Amino acid sequence: MLDRTGLAAGAILIVGALPMSAAADSYKGPGFSGDAFVSNGAQEPQMIGSVHVGADGFRMNIEDQGRRMASVVRWSENTMYSLFLDQKAYMEMPAEQAGMEAYENRPCVGYRNSEKMGTDTVDGRQVEKWRCTGELTPAQGRPPGDATTWYDSELEFEIRIMRDSGETFEVRNVNVGPQDSGLFEVPEDFRELDMEALMRQMQQQQQQ
């Protein structure tokens, strides 16, 4: 069974499968926020944070064993930012390394094939259910995999993604409305971390 640390890591991998890199002003939906739930398939979904989608970008907040983190993508950039909120620090990751695809108002972005399976209901919202096969750019460290997604045409976003490997990401308790643009900015007082230096430090700590 995954602990909360495993769930947080799984959420970040699943976020990489979302269509979150795009040209400016490409997202035309109304904007929304909601609670983020993750499961590895062997347990009930657990809430790990919140999701915000707006005219400026995408953000997922995660609280893991008392540590507060966030993954942020601005539609106008080709980068995912990992924010460490308690340390006031951040790291950048290129879109291709995270497995991100350009945003499009349709389901199964990032997959070669898509097939509509009908309609369904997710947390009281009417959505379309789709089968997605032939993943094009999996996140680094994750093999390609097929998935089933539930696409909310009002929100112009997939609010549930279930990968064949078992991981599931879902947004519940949706509140529709514009999101503050500041949510999608790296705060000015945050310092940038060197990812390679951080990895070396972690390896050294493991060897001690």
Kind of pairing, strands 32-39 and 191-192? Answer: unpaired
**DSSP per-residue codes, the chain:** ---HHHHHHHHHHHHTTS--B--TT---S--EEEEEEEE-SSS--EEEEEEEE-SSEEEEEEEETTEEEEEEEETTSSEEEEEETTTTEEEEEEHHHHT--B--SSS-TTEEEEEEEEEEEETTEEEEEEEEEEESSPPTT-----EEEEEETTTTEEEEEEETTS-EEEEEEEEES---GGGGS--TTPEEP-HHHHHHHHHHHHH-
Residue with tokens 């947080």: 8
Q: What is the pLDDT of residue 207?
A: 66
Q: What is the pLDDT of residue 23?
A: 45
Q: Is residue 156 assigned to a domain?
A: no
- 205, pLDDT greater than 70: no
Q: Is residue 140 assigned to a domain?
A: no
Q: What is the pLDDT of residue 204?
A: 64
CA proximity to 135, closest of 156, 164, 106: 164
Q: What is the pLDDT of residue 166?
A: 84
Q: Is residue 68 assigned to a domain?
A: yes
pLDDT band at 137 (very low <50, low <70, confident <90, very high): confident
Q: Is residue 171 assigned to a domain?
A: yes
Give the tens place of pLDDT for each residue, 150-170.
Answer: 999 999 999 999 989 888 889
Cβ atoms 129, 88 nearer than 8 A: no
Question: What CATH number should be reported for the domain holding residue 80?
Answer: 2.50.20
> Cα angle vertex 111, ends 78, 29, to 5°?
60
Q: What is the pLDDT of residue 208?
A: 59
Indicate the range of 30-34, 95-99, 170-174 predicted with least confidence.
Answer: 95-99
Give the tens place of pLDDT for each residue, 16-69.
Answer: 445 444 444 578 899 999 999 988 877 788 898 999 999 998 899 998 788 899
Q: Is residue 118 assigned to a domain?
A: no
Q: Is residue 141 assigned to a domain?
A: no
Number of domains in the chain: 1
- 190, pLDDT greater than 90: yes
Q: How far is CA 38 from CA 103, 105, 185, in A?
A: 22, 23, 25
Range of the domain at 46: 4-104+165-207
Q: How far is CA 33 from CA 54, 61, 76, 162, in A?
A: 9, 11, 20, 20
pTM flag (> 0.85)? no
Q: Is residue 152 assigned to a domain?
A: no
Separation of alpha carbons 25 and 10, rounded Å: 29
Q: Is residue 142 assigned to a domain?
A: no
